[in-house]
Each structure stands twice: as C-alpha cells, then as structure tokens.
C-alpha cells in the first residue's frame, strides 16, 4: 500500500514484481505501472485473440503441473481457443505481454533515477541486465537502494544497502515524507470459511454465541464495511450452528465480555488478528487460558472473493464453457425414463465429499413435511438470500426446503459478466450452512421439470421478485410448476442482490481513493516544502 501511495504522488513510476499473487494490482496500482515478471495466479489469457483476452482464473479447472505446460482446460468464449495461465515456471522465459509487461519494465529502468529493491534476494533478477541498465557507464546508471535482511548479488553496486525489514523501512520512509500508509481495504463478507469455523466452534461446546462487531469498530480496525451491522447480525444468526449472537461485540475480546455472556472460552481461527496499533485482539483471554483455536478453511478467503469482483471491473469476463458433458447433462435431464438425473451424481458426491457431509444436515423429509423447492445461483450468499429463504420457511408449519443450485456455466448464461463470483462448490457449502435449507441439488437444471418435482415430491415451488430469464430455447423455466398450480412468488422485502454487493465493494474502493485525493493538495505542499529543505542542505 505504501508503494501504491508513492506511485499516486509520482514518487514511484513503475513496479517490477517477482510475485504472482496479484497483490500489487489489488493495491490500486494501475495495470500499466506494474510488470509481474512471473505472471499473475489470478489471470488466464487467450493468446489467439489480439490483443490477448484476459479472464479471471477459476481454481477448480484442471491443474497442469508438468513443467512448461500452461493450458487450463477452459475455452475462450470469443474464439474457442483453449486458455492458458500466466505463470512463468522455473527455468522458463516468459513471453506474454501481459501481465509480464517487459517493455514497460525496461523502459522505466532506462529512465529511472533510482531503483528501490524491497525484500528481493535478486538471485533471479540479476540475470536480467536490462533492468539494471548495465549497458550504461556506472555513473549514468540509476542509483540502487536495497532493503533486505540477507546478502544479495547486487550489494556491491548499491548506493545504499539497508539490512532491515521492508515494512519497518517503508513506515519510516512514509513518515519522513509525511504520507499516511493507506489501509488495504478488507471486507466483512460472510462466506463458507466463516461458517466452517463456526461449525468447528460449535462442536467444541454445547452452546455457541457469536460476537458481531459494529460498523464503527470495523471501520476503525479494518476499513469501510460492505454490510451494515444489522445485515451482519441477521446473516450470522442464519448460520445453523449459531445459537445466539452478541450484537456490538468489542473488537478486542476481554474476560469481561466472556463473563458477561457466561462463556467458558472463546474460539478463533489459527490466524492472528491485530488491532489498528498492532496488538493481538485475543491476548487477554489467551493469557487466562480461555482461548481455543480451530483450523481455517483452506482455499477460500474474503480477499480472493473481492479480487474476483475487482478484476470484473476491469472487464475480465468469465468463460462461458458449455462443454459436451455439461450440455448432455442438462439437455438429457428429465427426458423420459432414459434421462440421467443429476441427483444420482449428487448423492454419490455427498457420500464421497467429507466437507459437504460436514455441512449437510443429513435429514430426510418426514411425514407431514411441506417440501418446498427454490432454485437460483445463490452467488455470494448474502442477507437478501436469507430474507427470501426465511419468508419461504414461514410458508409452512413443517417446511423442508430444497435449494437447486445452477452450474457455473448456466449462471454465466443468464447473468453474464464475470458471474458467478463463487463457483458451484463454494455456493453449495454457503447454502448448506443456512439454517432454513434442508437439502441442496448441485447442478440443478434451469427448467424445473416434472421428473424433478416427482422425484423430490415437491409440493410448492417458490421464486423471489427478481426477473426470470427464459431458458435457452426461450421457454419459461417454471412452466411445469405453474401448470400444476404449485408455483408462488415470494416477496422477501429485501432489495439486496449480488449485483448490489459488487457495486458496494467497487464504491468503497472508489471512496477510499477519493478520500486520499482530498488530502493530495496538502500532502503535495508538504512534499514540496521538504524537497526545498533538502535542496537548501546541499
């Protein structure tokens, strides 16, 4: 974030990164100002399109781990060519124009007055003489400043070598320049990783109380929240392992808080959380021996989900990959006795997936239950979905709600852009964690067919007030339940949608940038004064 701020004030012109985590792009640096020499793990491209068409990387695609093999198995929706990742393997020369951006890197190096190397061993970059302007006489090369704890091959060429931590050095530099280090925007989204943590916590005791912070606390320690505190309260309360919530819980957990709610101990994931001044938020309860840890869920993070959304604002559209198996699966569904029902595969998948077994209730519908079917993307499972499912749950005395989740390709067909943000596996776990849902059909057909209704003995089919997009052949996907007289529109009373959440996140990012711009005039004046003082010294 310091580097992004320095670039904004024209003190840094270009960033050359050996990392492939995409964090420089997420920090707000413009794409043209970044050269990711080893690629970006979040981007895959179509090299057959000119210019190369970029896509958000989907991590459930086939992994190609063999050396120098890059095709991901997904296809470009424009030309049909197979996509490739952008990662540069060891011993390989990267050739992609983006995100490697070699031209801009060498051009920036040729014009540079100073090259600042932060945290790099330089054992790889030393092989790229153009970055160091080695063709120029030593007196005409950029001044080299290195910050690293260890020796580097370029130490002898450095005008200054600092043996220290990059974070510490950058804090001192930003303070000297009179610039604030912007916070990296973090968001208060609830995803299945959080639900899994609550599931583990509930298994450690008999009664689970979940503390939820206020908007003020989140803004102070993390940045602007996406959801209001009321929305967060409802969202957490809807997770089926939660017995009670503690609204307005302090960001720092104290013994007083535990005693107030008669809690024996508190539980958190195995990652540390810090206050704005760098203190462990669980230090007091850890010292008292009233702290337990559970494992974080691998493969999901709020940062990753936000990254997918922000990349969408740069027109990195998702692939519409309707492969033969997918088309066969959906087209054959429900077409007479020879059709292949998706719930057969679903049942097998449930039996072999430990994570889904842990999330699923395992309850069969009982005599007297009203079996209600709802279907959709349920992308970025949010409080709007909760409001809808709660209203559906209230339609019967003994409801048994089955949620049909459409495949990613189907969602992309009717939503477009980069949707769904979460893939089918992530959406499945998110919906299963909701207390109002009894069962999930993974990869449900878009059209609600007679076979589906008969198989699950559905007595009511519900849909919210959002638009119903016709099926591929132009037909109404709810034609069958309407003919049976079992279709019902349900007004949740909420106007929150997945689109609105994405807009909120983009808005927060723009507000964050706008807030810094308001201070720009003052900061530039300070910088100019400091430069004049520096010139007077010399």
- Residues annotated within a binding site for Zn(2+): 46, 49, 76, 79
Please say if 38 is a catalytic residue: yes
Q: Round to whole Å and give the CA distance between 488 and 124.
A: 63
Specify whether the CB–CB gap between 500 and 466 falls below 8 A.
no
- Residue 145 pairs with which residues in a beta bridge? 116, 160
Query: How many residues make up the chain in this entry?
Result: 538
**What angle do helix axes 424-432 and 192-203 make, rounded to 10 degrees?**
40
DSSP label at residue 49? S
Q: Which long-range contacts (CB under 8 A, 24 or more apart) does 244-249 make?
A: 244/207, 244/208, 244/209, 244/210, 245/209, 245/210, 245/211, 245/212, 246/209, 246/210, 246/211, 246/212, 247/212, 247/214, 248/212, 248/213, 248/214, 249/211, 249/212, 249/213
Q: Which of 7, 14, 24, 38 is catalytic?
A: 38
Tokens of 12: 């840094």
Query: Can you give the C-alpha Rg of the chain in angstroms?
Result: 27
**What angle do helix axes 498-518 and 302-312 make, rounded to 10 degrees?**
80
Q: Round to whole Å and give the CA distance between 369 and 399.
A: 6
Q: In sequence order, what are the residues at sequence separation of 6 or more whose Cβ sits closer than 8 angstroms to the Cβ of residue 92?
A: 67, 68
State the Cα angle at 13 between 8 and 17, rounded to 5°. 105
Specify whether the CB–CB gap between 470 and 476 falls below 8 A.
yes
Binding site, annotated residues: 46, 49, 76, 79
List, by residue number, the catalytic residues.
38
């Amino acid at each position: 974030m310091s580097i992004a701020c320095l670039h904004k004030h024209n003190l840094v012109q270009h960033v050359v990164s050996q990392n492939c985590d995409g964090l420089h792009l997420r920090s707000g640096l413009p794409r043209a100002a970044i050269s990711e020499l080893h690629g970006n793990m979040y981007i895959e491209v179509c090299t057959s399109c000119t210019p190369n068409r970029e896509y958000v990387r989907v991590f459930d695609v086939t992994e190609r781990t063999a050396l120098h093999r890059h095709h991901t198995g997904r296809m470009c929706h424009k030309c049909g060519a197979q996509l490739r990742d952008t990662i540069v393997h060891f011993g390989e020369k990267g050739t992609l124009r983006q995100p490697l951006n070699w031209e801009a890197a060498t051009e920036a190096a040729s014009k540079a007055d100073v090259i600042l190397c932060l945290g790099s061993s330089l054992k790889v970059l030393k092989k790229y003489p153009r970055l160091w302007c080695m063709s120029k006489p030593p007196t005409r090369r950029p001044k080299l400043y290195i910050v690293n704890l260890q020796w580097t091959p370029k130490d002898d060429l450095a005008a200054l070598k600092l043996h220290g931590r990059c974070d510490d050095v950058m804090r001192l530099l930003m303070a000297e320049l009179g610039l604030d280090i912007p916070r990296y925007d973090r968001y208060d989204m609830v995803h299945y990783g959080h639900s899994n943590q609550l599931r583990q916590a509930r298994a450690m005791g008999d009664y689970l109380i979940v503390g939820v912070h206020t908007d003020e606390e989140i803004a102070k320690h993390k940045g602007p929240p996406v959801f209001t505190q009321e929305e967060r309260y409802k969202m957490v309360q809807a997770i089926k392992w939660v017995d009670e919530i503690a609204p307005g819980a302090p960001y720092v957990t104290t013994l007083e808080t535990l005693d107030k709610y008669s809690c024996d101990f508190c539980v958190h994931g195995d990652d540390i959380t810090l206050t704005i001044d760098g203190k462990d938020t669980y230090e007091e309860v850890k010292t008292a021996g009233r702290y337990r840890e559970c494992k974080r869920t691998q493969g999901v993070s709020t940062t990753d989900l936000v990254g997918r959304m922000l990349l969408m604002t740069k027109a990195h559209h998702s692939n519409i990959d309707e492969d033969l198996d997918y088309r066969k699966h959906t087209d054959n569904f429900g077409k007479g006795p020879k059709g292949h029902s998706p719930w057969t595969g679903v049942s097998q998948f449930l039996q072999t997936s430990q994570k889904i077994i842990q999330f699923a209730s395992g309850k069969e519908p009982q005599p007297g239950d009203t079996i209600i079917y709802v279907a959709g993307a349920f992308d970025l499972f949010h409080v709007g979905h909760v409001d809808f499912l709660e209203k559906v749950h209230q339609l019967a005395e003994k409801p048994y709600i089955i949620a049909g989740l459409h495949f990613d390709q189907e969602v992309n067909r009717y939503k477009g852009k980069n949707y769904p943000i979460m893939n089918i596996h992530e959406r499945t776990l998110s919906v299963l964690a909701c207390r109002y849902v009894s069962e999930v059909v993974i990869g449900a057909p878009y059209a609600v067919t007679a076979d589906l209704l008969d198989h699950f003995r559905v007595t009511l089919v519900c849909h919210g007030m959002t638009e119903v997009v016709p099926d591929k052949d132009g037909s109404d996907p709810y034609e069958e339940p309407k003919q049976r007289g079992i279709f019902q529109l349900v007004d949740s009373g909420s106007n929150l949608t997945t689109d609105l959440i994405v807009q909120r996140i983009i808005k927060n990012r723009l507000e964050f940038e706008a807030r810094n711009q308001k201070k720009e005039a003052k900061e530039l004046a300070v910088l100019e004064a400091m430069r004049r003082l520096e010139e007077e010294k010399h």
